[in-house]
Structure 1
Amino acid sequence: MTVERIGPPTVAGEREMLRAFLDYHRATLEWKCEGLSDEDLRRRSMPPSTLSLLGLVRHMAEVERTWFRRVIGKEDVPLVWSDEGDYQAAYDATGATRAEAFAAWREEVEHSRRIEREAESLDVTAYQPRWEQEVSLRLVMLHLIHEYARHNGHADFLREGVDGTVGA
């Protein structure tokens, strides 16, 4: 499977632009993992860090789930990999597989897209308990773009360490 990365438009409305940038960063993470075995995807960066490409995919599934389903969608769902609400658990990809990690991530991305599409506007707000304040859908989308951009930088280094592949 070849990952299709479509660059964001240079001129568009705010919502379309945010959507496009978020999808571009989602595709970038997937692209960084393309063609690697489960073992390669679980390879850690450097001791003592447990950071791996598969751990990043699992983490971003939790991020998507938390911000779109739990916050904006107000769904009472647990984290994917931790019943105790431990966000760090997703990073531990020991024994994890591409199939389970990407299935969970893709499912959360689809939920996120649905919730965003169904929202009346970017001004829709919901309570974020960890921040103890209201947040808008606009902030959530910008926050996810930030999260993906930051972690895609990590993914660049991780992929280069696995097989020498570089490039954004």
Structure 2
Amino acid sequence: MLRDFLDYHRATLAMKCEGLAEEGLRRQSMPPSTLSLLGLVRHMAEVERVWFRRTIAGEELPLVWSDRGDFQEAYDARGADRAEAFAAWRAEAEHSRRIEREAMSLDVTGVNPRSGEEVSLRLVMLHLIHEYARHNGHADLLRQGVDGAVGA
């Protein structure tokens, strides 16, 4: 069930971006916020990487978009490339799926590199569902601001 809900939210973010050219994906359509759909895609690549690869798998990796470890850099998509952003996001989601499939159980634990807290794969999956759901709400508003599209 967790896998299905997480994949549903991944698919929802992709759907919110469908049919837009790069300019629309980069558009900061809800001033004064500087958030854009492409910024959300980049952010979710970071989230997938940190929670699955770094936390659960224990991989020593930098962030995707920041050598300094600054999560905020992913949100700045003004000069971002659509293909690069979506490729990174899809690759990180595939790594996440692999890690989850190969885990012995949802009770497998890892250490959150930011807090030092031990967390289970179950908690990570719940956190990602929450993170996607929250940002998909943002994506709804951003997409409506770009071209008026609403729904799903």
Task: Tell me whether the two structures share a fold, i.e. TM-score over 0.5.
Answer: yes
Aligned with 2:103 (options 113, 119, 130): 119
**Counterpart amino acid of residue 54 in structure 1:** L
Shift of 1:128: 1.0
Q: Distance in 1 between matches of 2:146 and 2:32?
A: 17
Aligned to 2:62, what secondary structure does the other structure show?
coil
Superposed CA deviations along residues 20-53 of structure 1, whole A, max 9, x for unmatched, are 0000000000000000000000000333321000
Q: Within 5 Å, give how 1:88-127 maps onto structure 2.
A: 88-127=72-111
Match of 1:7? none
Q: Distance in 2 between matches of 1:61 and 1:129?
A: 17
The TM-score normalised by the length of structure 2 is 0.97
**Counterpart amino acid of residue 102 in structure 2:** E
**Counterpart amino acid of residue 28 in structure 2:** R
**Farther-moved stretch of structure 1 (131-140 vs 39-48):** 39-48
CA RMSD across the alignment: 0.8
Superposed CA deviations along residues 106-156 of structure 1, whole A, max 9, x for unmatched, are 000000000000100000001113233100000000000000000000000
Match of 1:3? none
Shift of 1:97: 1.9
Q: Distance in 2 between matches of 1:60 and 1:128?
A: 17
Q: Which sections of structure 1, spanning at least 5 residues, go unmatched?
A: 1-16
State the identity as a percent. 80
Aligned to 2:35, what secondary structure does the other structure show?
coil
Aligned to 1:129, what secondary structure does the other structure show?
coil
Contact 2:54 2:113 in 1 (8 A): no
The TM-score normalised by the length of structure 1 is 0.88
Aligned with 1:147 (options 101, 124, 131): 131
Question: Which structure's relative contact order is higher, taking Cα pairs within 8 Å and 6+ residues apart?
Answer: 2
The number of residues matched between the two structures is 152
Shift of 1:157: 0.3
Aligned to 1:135, what secondary structure does the other structure show?
strand
